[in-house]
Amino acid sequence: MPKPKYEWSAEHEAIRAANHFEIEGSEEMARVFAQMVSVRANSNVLLRGETGVGKTATARLIYALAKARNILAPASQENGNGNGNGNGVTEGQHMHPSWSTFRDQTNRDNAKFVEVNMAAIPEHLVESELFGHERGSFTGSTERRYGRFEEANGGVLYLDEIGEMPVVAQPKLLTALDDPRRYQRLGSNKTNESQFVAVSSTTQNLEEMVAQKQFHKALLARIREREIRVPALNERPPVHREHLVNTLVQRFCERHKIDAFSVDAKALDFLITRKYEDNVRELNFIMKEICQSLVESKRKKITMNDVDHAIAILGIGNREALQREVAEKSPRILTLDEMIRNAIVDSIIRNHFDVPRVLKELGLHRATFYRKLQALEIDMEALKNRRK
Ligand SMILES: Nc1ncnc2c1ncn2[C@@H]1O[C@H](COP(=O)(O)OP(=O)(O)OP(=O)(O)O)[C@@H](O)[C@H]1O
Ligand SMILES: [Mg+2]
């Protein structure tokens, strides 16, 4: 089968470049960008990928592109009584001649990127945060509050760490994320309507969470109308990583209004072959530290010395050295990963697969726990079956 060829317009390319979002040299990143460019009005997109791969950066770029593509238009709040679909545009309508340039421009200016971290909202406040509340609707609600759904009307709603959303609150979101998007403020029986692109993101294995009854199957189906998987840095070809290094240097230099630094061959080779646990974020931290030190010492070329120094200063080296030491000293000694894996498996079995108890015993955050399961290839179902 021939490989798909991804295409986008010069305008989209300019937006990508202005946002310093690197895709060059990676087929998978080209696919990611093609997916971003073709997001539909009022649709639900799920971003998946390890921590630091660029999910938030992707969501922001989806927003910038959606604005330029003119697919964002608000639903009319006055008409939002649950009977009509307001007067916003839906897919296919956005080129209609009755839409004046003035209207398009106003929509574009008002389009917001609204970010909600689902891990940060306590269970009892989820509804009020998303849908708003009327004055006096619950103890302490002395003012009317507009929810994020209202704020995002005509823009993009970014639901970060969706897997952390409390299970009991999930059905409310499921209903509200339908098309048209309808919801009620707490304490009101008036149905409001919003139009926005909903971008959710997760580092977690949501399918596993569905199996563990920690995430609603129907909500997963709804939020992933379109799924964009952002690959881990280590999965991307070296040539892409080289472009990324240069882009990050350029970004720093542009922001500081200085000429871009060059990177010598040895330093570049090290940077593009190194393993990055926290993906692009970690590479970016290193590049920022290096660039800062070049500014301070008034130099123009990045060398291996600068890289070593940055890694030591950031404290990333300790972790690596420790792992190397353990692995090198004796092949019979367990690696850190193996030790962690054993501790988790022991705890799961000891606690009879009761996840909340395991979390308590290990002092782990739910998200971290599921990330570890994935990373260390611990399959709870397989463990269960083996013990039957
Ligand atoms: N393709 C890319 N080109 C340039 N910079 C990138 C790219 N991807 C990510 N970055 C940069 O890497 C850093 C981390 O990205 P981001 O915060 O989007 O990751 P994330 O996947 O949202 O992480 P988390 O799961 O922790 O929320 C940011 O500074 C971002 O600008
Ligand atoms: Mg993020």
DSSP structure string for 367-381 = HHHHHHHHHTT--HH
Question: What integer pLDDT is reported at residue 249 of this predicted model?
Answer: 98
Q: Would you state the pLDDT for residue 200?
A: 98
Q: Answer yes or no: do 205 and 245 share one domain.
A: no
Same domain, 79 and 183: yes
4 within domain boundaries: no
Q: Look up residue 331 and give its two tokens.
A: 């092949």
* Å from CA of 296 to ligand 2 middle: 30
Distance CA 211, CA 203 (A): 17
Domain boundary at 172, 202, 229, which? Answer: 229
Residue 223, domain member (yes or no): yes
Q: Is 291 a domain residue?
A: yes
**Two tokens at 121?**
């909202």
Within 8 A by CB and 6+ apart from 204, the residues are: 163, 367, 370, 371, 374
Among 229, 251, 284, identify where a domain stops.
Answer: 229
Give the ligand whose atoms come closest to the C-alpha of residue 203.
Answer: 1
Residues 152 and 29 in one domain: yes
Asked if the structure places residue 1 within a domain, the reply is: no
The segments of the chain whose pLDDT lies below 70 read 1, 77-104, 317-334, 387-388
The verdict on residue 73 lying in a domain is yes
In a domain, 134, yes or no: yes
CA-CA distance, 266 to 303, in Å (whole number)?
7
Exposure letters 204-228 (e unless 16+ CB within 10 A, then b): bbbebbbeeebbbeebbebbbebeb
Centre of ligand 2 to C-alpha 51, Å, is: 7
DSSP assignment of 136-161 equals: TSSTT--S-EE-HHHHTTTEEEEEET
- Asked if residue 258 and residue 146 are part of one domain, the reply reads no
What does the pLDDT read at residue 95?
Answer: 42
State pTM to two decimals: 0.79
| Per-residue pLDDT at 141 | 75
φ/ψ of 128, rounded to 5, equals -65, -35
Let me know whether 241 and 213 are in one domain: no
| Predicted confidence (pLDDT) per residue in 348-370, tens digit | 888 888 888 898 888 888 888 88
Instruction: Measure 96 CA to ligand 2 centroid, in angstroms.
Output: 36
Q: What is the DSSP letter of 331?
A: T
38 lies in the same domain as 120: yes
| Predicted local distance difference test score (pLDDT) of residue 317 | 67
Judgement on whether residues 316 and 340 belong to the same structural domain of the protein: no
Does 5 reside within a domain?
Answer: no
Alpha helix stretches (DSSP H) within the chain: 10-18, 27-37, 55-69, 101-110, 126-131, 148-151, 170-176, 206-211, 217-223, 238-255, 265-273, 279-296, 304-314, 316-329, 336-350, 355-362, 366-375, 380-387
Asked whether residue 3 is domain-assigned, the answer is no
Shared domain check, 245 and 116 = no
- On whether both 213 and 269 belong to a single domain, the answer is no
CATH of the domain at 238: 1.10.8.60
Q: Is 106 helix (H, G, I), strand (E, B) or coil?
A: helix
- If asked whether residues 270 and 319 sit together in one domain, one would say yes
What is the domain-level CATH number for residue 127? 3.40.50.300
- Separation CA 253–CA 247 (nearest Å): 10
pLDDT of 326 reads 54
193: nearest Cα among 202, 206, 184: 184
- Show the domain range for 296: 233-328
| Alpha carbon distance 260, 184 (integer Å) | 51
Query: From atom 26 of ligand 1, which residue's Cα is the shortest distance away?
Result: 51
First to last CA, the chain: 44
Say how many domains are in the chain.
3
pLDDT tens digit sequence for 5-24: 899 999 999 999 999 999 99
Closest-CA residue, ligand 1 atom 24, reads 51
| In a shared domain, residues 225 and 260 | no
Ligand 1 — pocket residues by CB below 6 A?
20-22, 49, 51-57, 203, 244, 247, 280-281, 284
Residue from 53, 159, 205 whose mutation best tests the ligand 1 pocket (most atoms within 8 A of CB) = 53
- Please report the atom of ligand 1 found closest to the CA of residue 280: 12
- Do 48 and 161 share a domain, yes or no? yes
Q: 223 near 44, Cβ under 8 Å?
A: yes
Domain end marker among 183, 213, 229: 229
